[in-house]
């Protein structure tokens, strides 16, 4: 009994360790945009927003209402004003489901001009549709204070393995459908033989 519990805990522990990934998104590094602006993430993964000059933020929105905070839940980084290079603090959000999560910059006019992004787009809820709807919004609205994530020192990832994706670049065309899934999938690929090895090792005892 005891051994079984230990085995289960071990396997679960290794699975969590090997699969949690940190996915980095640059905010304003390449102009008034997020880079990449479309990512795929698993439950438990951490999205890390890295801020560049001058002033930007990230707010979660509902698909139907771009440039306005989500009605329930969500997150807001607060406005980051960076003097030069990458800000020394980052905003981290944990992904709790694989449903699409849309976000935008809360700085006036940025959302309307296309500074939007998505985590796990679906065939019904695409970045193109969200962006196009955002372009006709009259006023970007930002919450008053940060919530829904953590502001931490850059480089101090709170993800278990911190499998940081090095300068992720969007794949596919600029149509907005490009998905990024680099280190997250390689971490997952690693997890399978790792778990297998643990099971074999325990069974042999
Ligand atoms: C990072 O952002 C914070 C919040 O806006 C700001 O106070 C700080 O000066 C920025 N750091 C740099 C190096 O610009
Ligand atoms: C995930 O859950 C945590 C804890 O409840 C919450 O702070 C965070 O905002 C959630 N993430 C998203 C993307 O809603
Ligand atoms: Cu912005």
Q: What's the rounded mean pLDDT across residues 125-153?
A: 97
pLDDT surpassing 70 at residue 141: yes
Structure tokens at 12: 């679960």
pLDDT surpassing 70 at residue 88: yes
Q: How high is the mean pLDDT of the chain?
A: 80
In a domain, 152, yes or no: yes
In a domain, 203, yes or no: no
pLDDT at 110: 98
Q: What is the CATH number of the domain that holds 58?
A: 2.60.40.420
Which pTM does this prediction carry? 0.74
pLDDT at 93: 98
pLDDT surpassing 50 at residue 1: no
pLDDT surpassing 90 at residue 159: no
Structure tokens at 201: 């090792």
In a domain, 62, yes or no: yes
Pocket lining: 73 vs ligand 2, CB cutoff 6 Å = yes
Pocket lining: 81 vs ligand 1, CB cutoff 6 Å = yes
The answer to whether 69 and 141 are in contact (CB under 8 A) is: yes
In a domain, 193, yes or no: no
pLDDT surpassing 60 at residue 4: no
Q: What domain range is 82 assigned to?
A: 22-181
pLDDT at 192: 43
- Index of the ligand 1 atom closest to the CA of residue 81: 5
Q: Where are the beta strands (DSSP E) in 72-170?
A: 80-81, 89-94, 101-104, 116-119, 150-153, 163-164
In this structure, the number of other CB atoms found within 10 A of the CB of residue 37 comes to: 23
In a domain, 93, yes or no: yes
What is the C-alpha to C-alpha distance for residues 129 and 63, in angstroms, rounded to an integer?
Answer: 9
pLDDT at 200: 43
In a domain, 195, yes or no: no
3-state secondary structure of 78: coil
101-104 and 34-35 strand pairing = unpaired
What is the C-alpha to C-alpha distance for residues 184 and 22, in angstroms, rounded to an integer?
Answer: 8
In a domain, 191, yes or no: no
When divided into structural domains, the chain yields a total of 1
Residue ranges of the alpha helices (H) in 120-182?
Answer: 127-134
Report the separation in Å between the CA atom of 49 and the middle of ligand 1, taken as the mean of its atom positions.
Answer: 14
User: Which residue lies with its CA nearest to atom 8 of ligand 2?
Assistant: 148
What is the C-alpha to C-alpha distance for residues 131 and 171, in angstroms, rounded to an integer?
Answer: 18
Structure tokens at 174: 């600029």
User: Which residue lies with its CA nearest to atom 7 of ligand 2?
Assistant: 148
- Greater model confidence, 75 or 183: 75
pLDDT at 156: 77
pLDDT surpassing 50 at residue 168: no
pLDDT at 20: 84
Pocket lining: 74 vs ligand 2, CB cutoff 6 Å = yes
Phi, psi of 201, rounded to the nearest 5 degrees: -60, -45
In a domain, 205, yes or no: no
Pocket lining: 18 vs ligand 2, CB cutoff 6 Å = no
pLDDT digits (tens, 9 = 90+) for 35-70: 999 999 999 999 999 999 999 999 999 999 999 999
């Amino acid at each position: 009994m005891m051994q079984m519990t230990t085995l289960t805990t071990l396997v679960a522990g290794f699975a969590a360790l090997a699969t949690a990934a940190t996915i980095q998104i640059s905010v304003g590094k390449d102009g008034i945009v997020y880079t990449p602006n479309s990512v795929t993430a698993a439950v438990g993964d951490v999205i890390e927003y890295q801020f560049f000059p001058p002033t930007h933020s990230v707010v979660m929105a509902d698909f139907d209402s771009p440039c306005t905070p989500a009605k329930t839940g969500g997150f807001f980084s607060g406005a980051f004003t960076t003097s030069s290079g990458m800000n020394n603090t980052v905003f981290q959000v944990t992904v709790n489901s694989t449903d699409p999560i849309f976000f935008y910059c809360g700085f006036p006019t940025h959302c309307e001009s296309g500074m939007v992004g998505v985590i796990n787009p679906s065939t019904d809820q695409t970045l193109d549709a969200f962006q196009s709807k955002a372009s006709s919004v009259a006023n970007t609205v930002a919450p008053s204070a940060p919530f829904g994530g953590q502001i931490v020192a850059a480089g101090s990832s709170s993800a278990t393995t911190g499998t940081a994706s090095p300068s992720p670049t969007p794949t596919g065309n600029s149509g907005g459908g490009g998905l990024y899934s680099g280190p997250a999938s390689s971490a997952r690929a690693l997890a399978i033989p790792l778990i297998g090895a643990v099971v074999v090792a325990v069974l042999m005892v």
